[in-house]
Amino acid sequence: MEEASAKETSATHSIVEALTRAIVEHRLLPGAKLAEQKLADHFGVSRTLVRQALFQLSQNRLIRMEPARGAFVAAPSVEEAQQVFAVRRMLETQMTREFASAVSSAKIKSLRAHVQQERDAVARGDVSGRTELLGDFHVHMAELMGNQVLAQMLGELISRCALITLMYQSRSEAQHSTDEHEQIVSALAARDTERAVELMNNHLLHVEAGLIFDRKVPTHDISIALS
């Protein structure tokens, strides 16, 4: 029983990974319908496992589930991204100011370890991994402050723009984000509050400005996208 459950979990994970990469690598068009039976046939699994995978992807906001219509690749708008970044700037510049007022060597060490994980993910070309880590840097700051409400709010905001970042941030921009995270940590370590706040604000502006929306048009065909 446990072995069968493990196989099902592994199969679901494989479907999630394959669809995530197809979306991230621009092989599936936002708005594309993800037909359960086509996916089940492609992966050689039951529709139940496909449904589990699609649910996980909907939790990550990579797809949207519509009652009586099915699953579709999410299509977040540029306007939504701009609004999310505006709110993030309001929250995170103040968070940076408060973090600097209670900075410690342990907190700096933790942030530097996180930045190194980001660098490793960028270096190995782990697109989904680097995107998650780049977003988690901001949540981690809130967690180190002991503010779980702020951490939860930031996590929700970051998840809303995660697909846009996944789809439209280039590798060079991801590397640039990691460099900026390191600069923020250095300013915090030096207890230079105003510099840290300025760097955080500019960092979020740079991430938003660095999104590239003129990608080549991907395909609606699941078989081609996953091949």
Furthest-apart CA atoms within the chain: distance in Å: 58
Count helices and strands in the chain by DSSP H and E runs? 10, 3
Burial 123-155 (b: 16+ CB within 10 A, else e): eeeebbebbbbbbbbbbbbbbbbebeebbebbb
Round to whole Å and give the CA distance between 20 and 16: 6
User: pTM (2 decimals)?
Assistant: 0.69
pLDDT for 217: 47
What strands, in cross-sheet order, belong to the sheet with 63-66?
33-34, 70-73, 63-66
Which helix (H) or strand (E) segment holds residue 73: the answer is strand 70-73
pLDDT for 113: 98
Q: How many CB atoms lie within 10 A of CB 174?
A: 21
pLDDT for 17: 86
Q: Which residues contact 46 (CB under 8 A, 6 or more apart)?
A: 40
Tell me the pLDDT of the chain (227 aa) as tens digits.
556 677 778 889 899 989 987 876 667 877 889 999 999 999 999 999 999 999 999 987 789 999 999 999 987 777 877 888 899 999 999 999 999 999 999 999 999 999 999 999 999 988 778 878 998 999 999 999 999 999 999 987 887 777 777 666 666 777 899 999 999 999 999 999 999 999 999 999 998 887 766 555 455 566 666 76
Domains located in the chain, CATH noted = 2-75 (1.10.10.10), 78-209 (1.20.120.530)
